[in-house]
């Protein structure tokens, strides 16, 4: 084996060990490894030279079409999130199930559907609060639903080439091969959909028994304070004429309608109470629930004070602010203090010593220590530190642009149609859709930039460089020959071996690093056997995404670990059978959809 191959394999082994045993971020580890392979001295024909990789090879991942497509998809998801399109879709599709098994079945289909056409990482990030709400409604622990959420997103991502960053990465590898036809958006669908259906059936039938019943980090850190907020049913609201139950206001977690004021009179609230235009609804609940309530379609702030703030809605944020003893507003009601004019902010809710504050919001007399939930521009906390003891910005609190939700959905649909019909390449369709999201103001340039996961993009680009080093150094060919020897020239056994190696890699390192390492191995194996590469490509795409037995192998598993209160063993118990189901299905179907044949 050449010295370059030994050095490359040693570097990859160090990368795998670092990712598996430490908390160093994957982008730093992978980028450091590629940088090392670009400068490490190796022997050449004319003496020693620097680098297993040339500078262009080391940086090739940053121009890879798959990496660029992932970046564009983050902008599209940002547009869907900022307009509230995903919130509305999630609320309608998740519905109100009655049992844990029904909740798993109800969430699986929409999550799979969304993840097939949107990067599954932001989909899970957006739906974690919604799924947690569903768990509360059925009096179940979030741990019963959050692993199914992650698994549904992973399985849904395998149903199309744009569903996961891993699929796009492998599609970029295929596009770089002159003797292979580029993958279409549905190249993997005939394998991914059966795997998703079998995986969903497994989770629905056995999930309630195998999943633990634990409290998550949100429950451990639950905010005991009760905020009082007032919202009004404005003219033209879709809530006009609906009962509290029909509007699903009765089922909101951690917040409830305490009373309704109509024409100066208080109305007793029951599930059958009908809401009318100009009704003032008094809500009591935790800060996160009140924050989410501000995004509820059909309700608006009393007196529309938030509309008079000197900043566009898409450039605002919510803040928690504690009133200081020496503040000029202490001892005055919110209305008397002319709060909006004084601070260019609207008071949305008030909390006092963890208890509900009675009375109308504008008539509440402010006292030292009162906590206010405010809406203002993003510089509020820098301007008014003297009047408040503490000012804390709330994440993901920019008001949704519900009037553009339909537009954002249409842009996304057109992107999928353009890519599916080969009118545009996946990269062209994603870039066009991302530009359209910004031009139509579904999201601003700032929010689009903030919505991109730059760490993930760097990891993807660096993983490509690592795969190039494995191929250029001869390491892939050496391992491929060894795998062929083990398989005894049987392509089915070789395919299973490639799948198993990729699956084991993705369980202990990142899925993208596993795909980058496995692709050149698959190339070498297919070449040694003299068979077509495409069955191996499908196996890599499925295996690299099928991280079910470990929380560290896939980002969505890590995302649900804290909110679900999971342990490492929970993923092994629930995920290992799913690994076997998906693996067996893939190895069986891949050669049927893409016959081994012979290499061109």
Question: What is the 3 state secondary structure string of 335-393?
Answer: CCCCHHHHHCEEEEEEEECCECCCCCHHHCECCCCCEEEEEEECCHHHHCHHHEEEEEE
What integer is the mean pLDDT of 523-538?
A: 88
Q: Is residue 330 part of a domain?
A: yes
Does residue 280 sit in the same domain as residue 394? yes
Q: Which pTM value belongs to this model?
A: 0.66
d(CA 441, CA 438): 5
Does residue 280 sit in the same domain as residue 389? yes
Give the pLDDT confidence of 349-368 residue by residue, as tens digits.
888 876 677 777 888 888 88
Name the residue with higher pLDDT: 252 or 539: 539
Does residue 190 sit in the same domain as residue 120? yes
Does residue 314 sit in the same domain as residue 347? yes
Domain that holds residue 119: 66-216+410-454
Q: Are 239 and 279 in contact (CB under 8 A)?
A: no
CATH (domain of 314): 3.30.70.1450
Give the pLDDT confidence of 78-100 residue by residue, as tens digits.
888 788 776 666 666 666 677 88
Three-point CA angle 201, 203, 208, nearest 5°: 130
Does residue 271 sit in the same domain as residue 204? no
Does residue 153 come out as left (phi exceeding 0), alpha (psi in the -120 to 50 range) or beta? alpha
Residue 275's pLDDT is: 92
- pLDDT band, residue 155 (cuts 50/70/90): very high
- The residues, ordered by sequence, that sit 6+ positions from 489 with a Cβ below 8 Å of its Cβ are 529
Assigned token pair, 203: 């989770």
Give the pLDDT confidence of 437-492 residue by residue, as tens digits.
999 988 888 888 888 878 878 877 887 787 778 777 777 667 666 766 776 778 89
Residue 279 three-state SS: coil
Cα–Cα distance list, 574 to 155, 197, 538 (Å): 15, 16, 24
Does residue 176 sit in the same domain as residue 257? no
Residue 307's pLDDT is: 52
Does residue 188 sit in the same domain as residue 292? no
Does residue 186 sit in the same domain as residue 148? yes
Does residue 78 sit in the same domain as residue 112? yes
Residue 303's pLDDT is: 56
Does residue 258 sit in the same domain as residue 396? yes
Does residue 262 sit in the same domain as residue 381? yes
Last residue of a domain, one of 361, 381, 402: 402
Q: Are 203 and 434 in contact (CB under 8 A)?
A: no
Number of domains forming the structure of the chain: 2
Percent of all residues in the chain with a pLDDT value above 90, rounded to a whole number: 14
Give the pLDDT confidence of 366-409 residue by residue, as tens digits.
888 888 888 888 788 778 777 787 888 877 667 677 788 889 98
Does residue 284 sit in the same domain as residue 353? yes
Give the pLDDT confidence of 263-315 residue by residue, as tens digits.
888 888 888 899 999 898 888 877 777 777 777 778 887 655 555 566 666 67
């Amino acid at each position: 084996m050449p010295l370059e191959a030994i050095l490359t394999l040693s570097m990859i082994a160090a990368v795998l060990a670092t990712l598996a045993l430490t908390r160093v971020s994957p982008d730093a580890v992978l980028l450091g490894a590629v940088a090392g392979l670009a400068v490490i001295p190796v022997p050449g024909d004319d003496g020693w030279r620097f680098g297993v990789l040339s500078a262009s090879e080391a940086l090739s991942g940053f121009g890879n079409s798959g990496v660029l497509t992932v970046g564009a998809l983050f902008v599209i998801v940002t547009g869907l999130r900022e307009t509230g399109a995903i919130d509305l879709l999630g609320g309608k599709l998740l519905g109100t199930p009655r049992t844990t098994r029904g909740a798993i079945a109800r969430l699986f289909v929409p999550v799979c559907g969304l993840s097939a056409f949107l990067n599954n990482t932001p989909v899970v990030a957006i739906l974690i609060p919604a799924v947690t709400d569903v768990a509360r409604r059925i009096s179940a622990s979030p741990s019963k639903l959050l692993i199914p959420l992650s698994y549904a997103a992973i399985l849904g991502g395998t149903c199309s080439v744009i569903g996961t960053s891993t699929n796009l990465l492998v599609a970029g590898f295929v596009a770089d091969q002159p003797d292979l036809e580029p993958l279409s958006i549905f190249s993997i669908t005939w394998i991914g959909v059966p795997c998703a259906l079998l995986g969903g059936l497994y989770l629905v039938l056995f999930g309630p028994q195998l999943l633990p019943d634990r409290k998550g980090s949100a429950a451990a850190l639950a905010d005991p304070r009760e905020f009082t907020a007032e919202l009004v049913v404005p003219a033209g609201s879709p809530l006009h004429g609906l009962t509290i139950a029909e509007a699903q206001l009765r089922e909101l977690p951690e917040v409830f309608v305490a009373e309704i004021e109509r024409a100066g009179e208080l109305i007793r609230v029951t599930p059958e109470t009908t809401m009318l235009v100009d009704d003032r609804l008094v809500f009591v609940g935790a800060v996160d629930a009140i924050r989410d309530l501000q995004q509820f379609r059909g309700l608006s702030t009393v007196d529309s004070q938030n509309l008079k703030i000197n900043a566009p809605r898409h450039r605002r944020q919510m803040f928690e602010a504690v009133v200081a003893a020496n503040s000029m507003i202490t001892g005055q009601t919110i209305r008397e203090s002319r709060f909006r004019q004084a601070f260019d902010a609207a008071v949305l809710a008030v909390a006092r010593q963890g208890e509900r504050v009675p009375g109308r919001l504008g008539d509440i007399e402010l006292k030292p220590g009162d906590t206010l939930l405010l809406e203002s521009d993003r510089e509020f906390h820098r301007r008014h530190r003297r009047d408040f003891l503490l000012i804390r910005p709330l994440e993901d609190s920019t008001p949704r642009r519900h009037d553009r939700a339909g537009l954002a959905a249409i842009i996304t649909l057109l992107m999928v149609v353009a890519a599916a019909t080969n009118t545009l390449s996946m990269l062209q369709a994603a870039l066009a859709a991302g530009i359209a999201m910004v031009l139509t103001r579904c999201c601003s340039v700032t929010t689009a930039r903030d919505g991109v996961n730059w760490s993930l993009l760097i990891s993807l680009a660096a993983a490509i460089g690592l795969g190039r080093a494995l191929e250029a150094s001869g390491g892939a060919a050496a391992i491929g020959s060894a795998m062929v020897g083990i398989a005894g020239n049987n392509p089915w056994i070789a395919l299973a071996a490639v799948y198993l190696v990729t699956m084991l890699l993705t369980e202990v390192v990142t899925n993208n690093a596993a795909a980058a390492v496995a692709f050149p191995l698959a190339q070498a194996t297919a070449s040694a056997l003299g068979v077509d590469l495409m069955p191996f490509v499908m196996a890599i795409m499925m295996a690299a995404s099928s991280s079910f037995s470990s929380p560290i192998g896939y980002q969505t598993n890590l995302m649900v670990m804290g909110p679900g209160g999971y342990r490492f063993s929970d993923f092994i118990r629930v995920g290992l059978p799913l690994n076997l189901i998906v693996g067996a299905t893939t190895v069986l179907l891949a050669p049927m959809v893409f016959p081994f044949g012979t290499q061109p």
